[in-house]
Amino acid sequence: MTNTQYDVVAIGNAIVDILAQADDAFLAAEGMNKGSMQLMFSPEDADALYDKMGPGREISGGSAANTVAGMAALGDRCGFIGQVADDQLGQVFGHDIRAQGVRFDTAPRAGDPTTARCLIFVTPDGQRTMNTFLGASQFLPEAALDRAMIESAAILYLEGYLWDPEEPRAAMRAAIDYARGAGRKVAFTLSDVFCISRHGDDFRRLLADGLIDILFANENELLALAQGEDFEAAVSAISAQVPVLVVTRGEHGAIAVSNGERAEVGAEPIERVVDTTGAGDLFAAGFLHGQAKGQDLSTSLRTGALCAAEIISHYGARPEVDLKAMIAQKLG
């Protein structure tokens, strides 16, 4: 196997988030399922919902993009592949991810639709409820893959959200072949229960075919994938099919299981949960950073917990502190 030029290359939705405060009554009136992500299928729907938002904060997002931005902030070598449009939000997304130190070369797509945006309503308890207009991101073609970059990354990281639209799904399947052909690892995040309701059979097949090396899930996603209701039974069933399983459990911390070894970490205490957007993404950043550095499961989990704690202490899913210095100070 040749040397790597990247620790992680991710493929994901290229999204700019717009975050605003809202209360539970607003979510109920709009028929939103608190804590979930739902898709908006037309720009008109996105505009109509935006009109109802309070004052917003625009911050680049996208699940896998947040993860590589976090890893770059930890000092890792990262690349990102995702589709923006040739418009202002696309420029903002590209600027932010490159400014964080992530290589991002995917050419913008001309014409409609616009760059993806996610309208995020944050309730006083810090919970985030997301409404995504996927725009250009759902048209990521296989031709946009930088094969050499994928083959030279230790880990290819994929987000379940992007399994929904057809073109990126085909691109991700090709990327898995490139990565595995080069002897690299593939990491996958299940993203949301709705992704499993729509594509659970695909995800189970990827595991059965031995194509995933590191799987990230939260508790509900794990249960949906295992098609069961018992957490421990689901952990046993899924961990038997993947070399590394990571399950985040919100305020109850997280577990990782690898080759029969199990490690657990508690959630890092913080003064106030401001906004949970990106908590799982930054947990994945910390965990993958640990794995990239050859650290054990417990240290990788702890790094994930610390990064997640930082991200939920402010609005938005991109780090606001020097994560590398923070981890060095906390873990030595």
Ligand X SMILES: OC[C@H]1O[C@H](O)[C@H](O)[C@@H]1O
Applying CB under 6 A, the residues found at the interface with ligand X are 13, 15, 17, 61-63, 66, 118, 130, 132, 161, 277-278, 281, 317
Which C-beta is closer to ligand X: that of 135 or that of 278? 278
* Cβ closest to ligand X, residue 66 vs residue 129: 66
Per DSSP, what are the bridge partners of residue 261?
A: 258
* Identity of the residue, 15 or 305, whose beta carbon is nearer to ligand X in the bound complex: 15
Q: How far is the CB of 316 from ligand X (least distance, A)?
A: 8
Residue 143 CA: distances (Å) to CA of 80, 103, 137: 15, 18, 14
Task: Read off the tokens for 232.
Answer: 């421990």
Q: How far is the CB of 152 from ligand X (least distance, A)?
A: 26
Cα pseudo-dihedral 107, 103, 142, 247, rounded to 10: -130
Residues 227/254, Cβ–Cβ less than 8 Å: no
Nearer to ligand X by C-beta: 152 or 195? 195
Report, in Å, the least distance between residue 24 CB and ligand X.
20
Nearer to ligand X, 70 or 299 (CB): 70
Q: Residue 240 carries which DSSP code?
A: T
Name the residue nearer to ligand X (CB basis): 164 or 281.
Answer: 281
Q: Are 94 and 104 in contact (CB under 8 A)?
A: yes
CA-based end-to-end distance of the chain: 31
Cβ at position 231, least distance to ligand X in Å: 22
Which CB sits closer to ligand X, 161 or 315?
161
Tell me how far, at minimum, the Cβ of 89 lies from ligand X, in Å. 12
Residue closest to 244 by CA, chosen among 205, 291, 206: 291
Least separation in angstroms between residue 90's CB and ligand X is: 14
Residue 100 vs residues 66, 84, 144: alpha-carbon distances, Å: 10, 17, 22
- Minimum CB separation of residue 13 from ligand X in Å reads 5
Structure tokens at 1: 């196997």
How many Cα atoms within 13 Å fall on the side-chain side of residue 173?
13
Q: In the structure encoding, which two tokens stand for residue 300, read together?
A: 């990788």
User: How many whole angstroms separate alpha carbon 74 and alpha carbon 240?
Assistant: 30
Q: Which residue is nearest to ligand X (CB)?
A: 61
